[in-house]
């Protein structure tokens, strides 16, 4: 009797399956699998392409939002002490950090009239039309509720809060450039998508650019087509598993903005409990796959800053029934 193969994984069984054509065509699944097979302690091994001031920071779920919130608040406070403006590109996810950013800023008595906030993305239709600002699920409403509102008298002036609407998003690049001309800096706060997007800048966009430099130059996209992995990620993390509620499009900043950061503050908290997670592979790819437009998050370690992550996401990424 022939011995059964112990290698019945997706890499070896993909051909002819319903998953053919599902993953971004620029992904080398065998290479990705090899990266993810490393032991947990190897997650901190530095790569040659990492910026000398880039630092991955493992932490517990309890510490994660505190550390991220402190990092954001500290940058805001330091900019105020230096008498300069500071522009932030903010995500809606991770979110727990905003509670702590607010806590530290209010505790320190730091006013935020030198801060300019730019939301990195927003749900849309194919033409870039977005939800009403106060609609449930709208990123603008989420930011008002989690960050701008709770800051109270310390808050960012309304005219300095920018959201990724059809009319506003195309102006981000020029507005940020003006802030930097006045001596300000750009700090990008981000999470990493299941498909390794930054904001909603998806991996399949790579096929549209003749060169990496052209890809790097694009500042935004209206009505971006989202990858199925992104849809399912958000169904799990933001829509209580109800996939039918997740939009298929979004407005998003591009690498022409998020790769211009003076500093990055990243977060990976994609653990679901009982050993389940959705972000382990994405974290390993981000840190240990060389930069490629087919995996947008791989460019983030080339920038100065920190990436905070749940230490359990380092693995080992092995099969386990839960």
Asked whether residue 43 is domain-assigned, the answer is no
pTM of the model: 0.96
Residue 10 lies inside a defined structural domain of this protein: no
- Residue 291 falls inside a structural domain: yes
pLDDT at res. 5: 55
What pLDDT does residue 13 have?
Answer: 95
248: nearest Cα among 265, 280, 216, 223: 223
Give a yes or no: residue 11 inside a domain.
Answer: no
The secondary structure of 121-151, three-state, reads: EEEECCCCCECCCCCCCCHHHHHHHHHHCCC
Closest of 5, 16, 234 to residue 122, by C-alpha: 234
Contact criterion met (CB below 8 Å) for 249 and 126? yes
Instruction: With respect to residue 152, please indicate whether it lies within any of the assigned structural domains.
Output: yes
User: Whole-angstrom Cα distance, residue 12 to residue 286?
Assistant: 23
State the total domains in the chain: 1
The per-residue DSSP string of 70-106 comes to: HHHHHHHHHHHHHT--EEEEE-SSS-HHHHHHHHHHH
Count of beta carbons in the 10 Å neighbourhood of residue 78: 13
Residue 47 domain flag: no
Structural domain that includes position 297: 53-314
For each successive 10 residues of the chain (322 residues), what is the average pLDDT?
68 96 97 98 98 98 98 98 98 96 98 98 98 90 97 98 98 98 98 98 98 98 98 96 97 98 98 96 98 99 98 96 84
Q: What is the pLDDT of residue 122?
A: 98
Is the preceding peptide bond at 316 cis, omega within 30 degrees of 0?
Answer: yes
Domain annotation covers residue 5: no
Residue 187: per-residue pLDDT: 99
State the CATH number of the domain containing residue 291.
3.40.50.1360
Q: Give domain status of residue 202, yes or no.
A: yes
Ramachandran category for residue 199: left, alpha or beta (phi over 0 → left; psi -120 to 50 → alpha): left
Q: Which two tokens stand for residue 112?
A: 């935020």
């Amino acid at each position: 009797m022939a011995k059964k193969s112990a290698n019945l994984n997706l890499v070896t069984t993909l051909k002819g399956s319903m998953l053919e054509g599902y993953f971004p065509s620029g992904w080398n699944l065998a290479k990705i699998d090899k990266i993810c097979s490393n032991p947990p302690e190897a997650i901190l091994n530095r790569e040659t392409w990492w910026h000398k001031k880039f630092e991955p920071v493992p932490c517990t779920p309890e510490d994660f939002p505190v550390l991220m919130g402190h990092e954001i608040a500290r940058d805001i406070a330091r900019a105020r002490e230096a008498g300069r403006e500071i522009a932030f590109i903010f995500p809606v996810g991770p979110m727990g950090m905003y509670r702590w950013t607010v806590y530290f800023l209010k505790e320190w008595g730091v006013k935020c009239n030198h801060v300019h906030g730019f939301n990195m993305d927003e749900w849309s239709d194919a033409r870039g039309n977005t939800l009403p600002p106060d609609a449930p699920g709208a990123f603008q409403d989420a930011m008002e509720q989690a960050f701008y509102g709770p800051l109270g008298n310390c808050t960012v002036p309304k005219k300095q809060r920018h959201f990724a609407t059809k009319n506003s998003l195309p102006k981000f690049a020029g507005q940020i450039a003006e802030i930097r001309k006045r001596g300000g800096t750009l700090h990008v706060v981000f999470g990493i998508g299941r498909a390794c997007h930054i904001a909603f800048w998806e991996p399949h966009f790579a096929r549209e650019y003749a060169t990496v430099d052209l890809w790097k130059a694009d500042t935004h996209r209206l009505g971006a087509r989202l990858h199925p992995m992104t849809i399912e990620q958000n169904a799990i993390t933001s829509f209580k598993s109800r996939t039918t509620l997740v939009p298929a499009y979004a407005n998003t900043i591009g690498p022409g903005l998020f790769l211009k950061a003076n500093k990055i503050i990243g977060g990976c908290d994609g653990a679901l409990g009982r050993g389940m997670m959705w972000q382990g592979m994405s974290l390993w790819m981000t840190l240990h796959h060389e930069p490629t437009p087919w995996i947008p998050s791989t460019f983030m370690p080339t920038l100065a800053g920190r990436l905070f992550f749940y230490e359990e996401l380092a693995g080992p990424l092995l099969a386990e029934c839960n």
